[in-house]
Structure 1
């Protein structure tokens, strides 16, 4: 494992504030989801969602063309960008063309891929995140640690400290006080903004409509108050029709936040007409590839493009729940990040992310569009092996494993040898926590020694299955 990744993991495991915040938040999100999905035939909705997303990705070229045509028919502008640099350049040109100095943003993970805030601020442009969680981490100088809850790792007391620095006076840590302060600050930013930038939950190909799911109302302020609206979307975030949107209006809120429906569902179709009082009068849709097309046509990984960014897989992942999002050091964390990041970023550090998983399959069970993330994690590990990215020690270990477990005589010899050797190390029938080669496991878990007799040896003595089971049970109890 990359030393930097290992260091981030160790630091996260020692962070008590992180553990408390993660446990409270992810437990609440999981409980609310369980309540919300119990009220519908969720499996049927999941299957329909999977079918729609699979159909779109299989015909992505058609739907991208249809979407672009419909947006342009409604006097909007469409920009196809191959990578992050191209997208940043397009957005920068739009901002400069309109002499923009103040930019407000609604929550958008795809703009995190672009490092857009930093790029625009280099030009002297003020950029303010208006989603409360995003605003908090912007003040902290951090990146989002969760797809839908970017400040999930922060306790209220930490947020109050950040707000107090901005206010130059103490801000109480209760929720009403924190919300009141953010409301006061952001209200002025909304009024002063020249440019509004949003992400895009879904784009409807048949109408050229951009759909935003929000809970704070800031998305509507960002898209209606400034004269210019720039929507940035990954090229896969398309649905064929408004009829298909109904499926995801059931799946996304229930999976992400445990709601029947988010507080605001905004549908934006082109710029506002001259006679309309609300809405931007110049609309730009930036469609980003940024290596997504690498997965198209790949039978192992194309399904990752079905993702609707609900964050449900993070809330159930035993690894994410211990180390949080920043340990991954990628835009997307948790199981989806451990799969998506190596596909978008083909570098050694990203290649380590698939190992941040127990392969328990909880991510697949929670995914509203049935992405087999656990299978993809295994395939990414296999890809690392094929590319020679694993250590020489690991390769030797698995060759030894193969040699032992593919020949019965070798297996029996290994068992007898280990049973003899373990006697030198066991204390009260357990390996000590400082056991060389096993300390990472035994430091927090007990590891019992091998049984004096294997199942086969007991069975050969004429014992029945019930007798063997009873013996093993008594042995585990120390009787």
Structure 2
């Protein structure tokens, strides 16, 4: 089932650009994250070799996904865990709700999980009256605002401390200071009781290790470990491609992921979960469930143009360098995954170019995303391929198809080209002002709304070149072979 965007992309973009607080907050944080990445990756040394190794490992896994999934499932079951395969978002939610019903769960506490956001788990739980609380600080903040994440790593990137303090003050009924220690202390106080009362803990899965059946989580807050040990039931959501063959391969991503995501040399916690609590264990959930989600991923397998997008490790590095994301934030993309990775993967996962085919145009095609990607996904190439796919499907606007047909017909004949240039020159005095076109006609207004378009030269290059050639010929006729003759050696 295709998910529809609430409002058109251009309207979402205009709304975002008008929000000066959002733009300032996003720019400040992305600057910090990118600066940290550059510093920590340089300190590691041989960064390009690490990227190449990460790309090789992820490509190998995706190419042999059926084998490693089978190995993972067998090993999770050997450790006493329960494995569920969900073909769609609806199936993933149905599986979880069945678990919650069997356990008579009244409250669910979540760690950060983009896949649970992808399947819209929170809304499904709220609809049946089950209390669901986000325990990651950023996720907790945006849940209070009733919003979706706007960044893969920093969900509340678009909020500043003043807005957060006002929201916390509204909840507490008293004035909460805007300093960071006070804000985090308030959130910790509010969430502490939730950890003790939760019936089910939900987590994501950065990587699953096929050889051992382990789930690995990279976190900077203690909430991830509390969620996987305190509630009696732990349910992990995992995108079907998030596999590594062995712990030896994990070493590469322990170095790549934190540096690319937050600029850290290593995250505060790297947690390895091996199913439910066993005899002799000091902690751990009494029951473990792993929900492996397809939701469109298998449709990308075998696609030569796009299969590499499944190599993504969800670090968010492409967002931090993207000039479009930095000006509009994450919500303008209309779905769970923002930025360049979202512009590529959303149309593919949704399998709906008619609804989501505009996203690949939310890019300058500068290539910064590809350069930043720690596993070398050619995102800017994929954006071009998606644009081409939209054209082939006949989903571009009628005026655009007519315009390109007219352009093709005009440039096919020299006489038509010259005539069009003459017509353009006649139009310039009505459009240009002091060397710039400030308000372009028709769809050119989209460009000139935010910037000035340089006025074309009064004479075309061909006209100038013809004059230069004529001057040269005239000069050659008058030449006496004097000075300058030696230049013809």
Counterpart in 2 of 1:255? 260
Within 5 Å, give how 1:27-426 maps onto structure 2.
27-39=31-43, 40-347=45-352, 348-426=354-432
**Whole-Å separation in 1 of the counterparts to 2:175 and 2:286:** 41
TM-score (norm 1): 0.93
Which one of 449, 453, 468 corresponds to residue 455 of structure 2?
A: 449
1:269-300 per-residue CA deviation (whole Å, 9 max, x = no partner) reads 12111321211121111000011101000111
CA contact (8 A) 1:2 1:352 kept: no
**How far 1:425 sits from its partner (Å)?**
2.7
Residue 429 of structure 1 and its aligned partner are, at CA, apart by: 2.4
Conserved 8 A contact 2:431-2:439: no
Partner deviation per Cα, 1:195-231 (whole Å, 9 max, x = no partner): 1100100001111110000001110011111111100
Aligned-residue offset at 1:444: 2.5
Deviating more after overlay: 339-348 vs 101-110: 339-348
Residue 23 in structure 1 maps to residue 34 in structure 2: no
For each residue in 1:350-402, what CA deviation from the matched residue of structure 2 results, as whole angstroms up to 9, or x when unmatched? 12211111111111111111111111111111111111211110001111222
Deviation at 1:238, TM superposition (A): 0.3
Partner SS for 1:38: helix
Query: How big is each residue's C-alpha offset from its partner over 1:7-47, in whole Å with a ceiling of 9 and x where there is no partner?
Result: 21111111111111111111111111111111121111111
92-101 or 125-134: bigger deviation: 92-101
SS of the aligned residue for 2:235 comes to strand
* Contact kept in structure 1, 2:438 and 2:451, CA below 8 Å: no
Instruction: Please say which of residues 388-397 and 401-410 is displaced more in the overlay.
Output: 401-410
- Cα deviation digits, residues 430-467 of structure 1 (max 9, x gap): 2233655433222332222222344444444448xxxx
CA positional deviation for 1:328: 1.2
Kindly indicate whether the alpha-carbon contact (under 8 Å) linking 1:306 and 1:371 is maintained by their aligned counterparts in 2: yes
Deviation string for 1:320-339 (max 9, x for gaps)?
Answer: 11111111110101111111
Instruction: Supply the distance in 2 between the matched residues of 1:406 and 1:436 (Cα, whole angstroms).
Output: 24
Contact residue 274 and residue 281 of structure 1 kept, 8 A: no
Gaps of 5+ in 1: 464-479
State the structure with more CA Rg. 2
Q: TM-score, normalised by structure 2?
A: 0.91
Q: Secondary structure at the match of 2:290?
A: strand
